[in-house]
Amino acid sequence: MRDFFRGFGAVFYKEVLHVRRDSATLFFSLIIPLLQMALLGFGIDTNIRQIHTVVLNADGRRQSRELIDRLKNSDMFNVVRYVDNDQDLNDTIIGGQARVGVKIPVDYSDRLLHQTSAQVLVLIDGSDSSVAGQAINVTTAIGLDESLRRVLADRNAMAVEMRPKILFNPDSRSPNFFLPGLTAILLLNVTTFLTAFAIVREKERGTLEQLFVTPVRPFGLLLGKLLPYFGIGFFELCLIVSAMRFIFRVPIHGSVLLLAFLSLPYIFVSLSLGILISSKAGTQAEAMQLAFLTILPSIFFSGYIFPRETMPLIFRGFSYFVPATYFINITRGIILRGAGLQHLWTDALALFAMGTSLLFIAARRFQNKVIMS
Amino acid sequence: MAIAAPTPVNASILAQHLVRRFGDFVAVNDVSFRVQKGEIFGFLGPNGSGKTTVIKMLIGLLPLSAGSAWVEGLDVRVDAEAVRERIGYMSQKFSLYDDLTVAENLQFYGRIYGLTPTRLKQRIDDIVQLNGLAPYMNRLAMRLSGGWKQRLALGCAMLHEPQLLFLDEPTAGIDPVARRQLWDLLFELSGHGITFFVTTHYMDEAERCNHVAYIYYGKIIADGTPDELKKLPDVQPAGTKRIEIITPEVTRALRLARKIPGIRSATIFGESIHALVEDDFDPADLRAQLLKGDITVTDIRPLKPSLEDVFVELTEKHQSEIEAARA
């Protein structure tokens, strides 16, 4: 077993030396993300359909079912779950499975039948400001529509009142929404690029070939190269989260420690991705292009800019293979919705599984590639 | 050179019928040779003839398609890992970390080979003593000149005291003085019993080897000491001799000389022309012929073939055989 990781210590120490020697690159790779953050910290608006919705129908009679049908028919809401208590309603939203919760009170039908006005509570996840804004508009419109319909049919009928309540980001600040997501993108940027470059540089220099002539083992080599960048990635995360909290004033509702802990599997995935890229790329320019190929899906398919709800089915399916999807759910969950481990452990597990499989694929490719070249 | 028995006794390298195919392409075609312990073995051949491929097979980086190879008594097909512990390898291009210092490079490779800190320190001291790197220990490798870089690379390749070193074109691109110094170092190490497997394009370096083999399109077409090779019948066909014609006007003289019957081939070497001529060729006759073309000849003297002559002759002969086979 010891032999399996042979050379790990030596490679690790050498890698730390590389990083220290090239402090300019390190400085820029840590500072540039902060600049990007400042640029992107301002809102971008998008159109939304098919918002994941959870329904608590305490009434259950015909009138309440009609209202739910109307919500569904608006194309705006996609009811993904029905629950029967407030606790589940809240958890579904905190866990990120639904962005809107509709609660129809037990006396909804009674009130309408007795010609008094009925109220429906609409809980809206404010951690996605564009979703939130549109959800308010459409629910209010449906309420108005339902009221008009009733009044037109029967002069004595009373209105249905939709009472929206925005959770988590009540003032709908777009930085609150964008910055937690941006964290995932920036982290990927730094770690994937740095790792890919660090290895491809050895290829370009021919030192990789030299290393493979020594008794160093692939896993000792890869882990030794990985760990320093793991540290850098983690440091970058702390930097970004601090800037977000203290410069952009995004309140963190959940546990910062949990955020730090759950970022580990994500950094692991980003590094493994970097190694996989370096097993394919022969030059740094090639590595750069491949790295961009991984960054783009992370921006467009992870829900960072465009809510995943609005994506065509094929892209939404694809989004499950994008690591940033899971980490964005983790950051938004913890920072904006105060989610705990019980809501996010599946995301963390998915990331860990991805990282492990990527690392194994990379290590195998590597060995074959280097030896055969 | 015949291979006595399939046992690795006294041989540092024993290669038997090595074959390496890449798809349909046969990069190494039935290559056999034997390198004795303590020898400086020069492995020559044009670019792309399979030199590096053979090295990669011998150090276990490329599986053999067929044949067998023993390196330092170990079968590379079985014990590639153990082979790599016992050999040192220095590749064509400088392949150290140029953003690390000389000392850091040495320490890194020492740790890779698992030397203990005390032993590592001792080995570094020994190597620095031997190759004179002491004044440069804290210098970044990128700030070293070509010759010093190669010495550092050599130092890194022998930290773990290998008995066999593979040097793939160790002197490519370094200046003549540094080249000479590196070879002096190799001779000194060879005196301590270390075996060297060296590839090179420089004929003067080939002349310095105890034993040379010439590979051409994946096949070994010559194998022996430099002297043995110079006496090969293909190099010195019966009824011919070599002469050197010294004249101030080599270019014009060459054009004329090639038309003179009795001269089989001629080529320029600096201020002189080397020619392969019939045994009964008369120097006085040549002198007269050239004088007619207004060319004075300073001297004409007999010449022993150089290794370059050997390889040029063998290559041409082999090339015409390949072409004949195709036609």
- Check CB contact of B61 with chain A, cutoff 8 Å: yes
Nearest CA in chain B to A213: B84
Tokens of B37: 């312990």
Place B5 in a pLDDT band, splitting at 50, 70 and 90. Answer: very low
pLDDT at B199 over 50: yes
Task: Quote the percentage of chain B above a pLDDT of 70.
Answer: 97
Q: Which of B101-105, B161-165, B323-327 has the lowest mean pLDDT?
A: B323-327
Nearest CB among A9, A212, A372 relative to B111 is that of A9
Name the most confidently modeled range: A141-145, B31-35, B142-146, B235-239.
B31-35
pLDDT in tens, A215-227: 887 778 888 888 9
- Check CB contact of A44 with chain B, cutoff 8 Å: no
Residues B41, B175 share a domain: yes
**Mean pLDDT over residues A96-108, rounded?**
85
Q: Which of B230, B250, B282 is the last residue of a domain?
A: B230
Judging contacts by C-beta atoms under 8 Å, the chain B residues touching residue A23 are: none
pLDDT at B108 over 90: yes
Task: Indicate the pTM of the whole model.
Answer: 0.72
Note whether residue B177 is domain-resident: yes
Contact (CB, 8 A) for B50 and B215: yes
Average pLDDT, chain A: 81
pLDDT at A1 over 80: no
pLDDT in tens, B16-62: 999 999 988 999 999 999 999 999 999 998 888 888 899 989 988 88
Residues B157, B81 share a domain: yes
Nearest CB among A14, A215, A372 relative to B108 is that of A14
Please say whether the dihedral angle defined by the alpha carbons of residues A336, A338, A343 and A349, taken in this order, is positive or negative: positive
Residues 31-60 of chain B with CB under 8 A from chain A are 59
Q: Largest alpha-carbon pair distance within chain A?
A: 90
Judging contacts by C-beta atoms under 8 Å, the chain A residues touching residue B108 are: 10, 13-14
pLDDT at A48 over 80: no
Place A41 in a pLDDT band, splitting at 50, 70 and 90. Answer: low
Under an 8 A CB cutoff, do B112 and A215 touch? yes
Nearest CA in chain B to A205: B95
Confidence (pLDDT) at A310: 66
Who wins on pLDDT, B223 or B305?
Answer: B223
Give start and end residues of each alpha helix (H) in chain B.
Answer: 51-58, 80-86, 102-112, 117-131, 146-157, 176-191, 203-208, 226-230, 250-257, 283-292, 307-326
Name the most confidently modeled range: A22-36, A82-96, B11-25.
B11-25
The shortest C-alpha distance from A279 to chain B (Å) reads 17
Question: From the CB of residue A292, how many other CB atoms can be counted at a distance below 10 Å?
Answer: 12
Under an 8 A CB cutoff, do B100 and A17 touch? yes
pLDDT at B4 over 50: no
- Say how many domains are in chain B: 2
Give the integer Cα–Cα distance in Å for A366 and A371: 8
Question: From the CB of residue B21, how many other CB atoms can be counted at a distance below 10 Å?
Answer: 13
Q: How many CB pairs under 8 A join A and B?
A: 62
Give the integer Cα–Cα distance in Å for A203 and B97: 11
Confidence (pLDDT) at A373: 40
Name which of B13, B36, B39 is nearest B189 in CA terms. B39
Domain hosting B202: range is 11-230
Give the integer Cα–Cα distance in Å for B108 and B114: 10
Give the integer Cα–Cα distance in Å for A142 and A315: 29
Nearest CB among A7, A18, A209 relative to B91 is that of A209
Confidence (pLDDT) at B119: 93
Confidence (pLDDT) at B6: 47
pLDDT at B7 over 60: no
Residues 96-155 of chain B with CB under 8 A from chain A are 96-100, 104, 108-109, 111-114
Q: State ipTM.
A: 0.72
Residues B159, B262 share a domain: no
Q: Largest alpha-carbon pair distance within chain B?
A: 76
Q: Which of A43-47, A271-275, A366-370 has the lowest mean pLDDT?
A: A43-47
Nearest CB among B61, B92, B112 relative to A10 is that of B112
Note whether residue B312 is domain-resident: no
Q: Which of B230, B264, B279 is the last residue of a domain?
A: B230
Torsional class of B305: left (φ above 0), alpha (ψ -120 to 50), beta (otherwise): beta
- CATH superfamily, with its number, for domain A51-167: abc type-2 transporter like domain (3.40.1710.10)
Tally of CA atoms within 13 A in the half-sphere of B163 that contains its CB: 16
Residues 200-259 of chain A with CB under 8 A from chain B are 205-207, 209-216
Confidence (pLDDT) at A20: 83
Which CATH number belongs to the domain containing residue B18 in this structure?
3.40.50.300
Domain boundaries, given as residue ranges, for chain A: 3-40+173-372, 51-167
Residues B169, B105 share a domain: yes
Confidence (pLDDT) at A35: 66
Task: Quote the percentage of chain A above a pLDDT of 90.
Answer: 13
Residues B202, B134 share a domain: yes
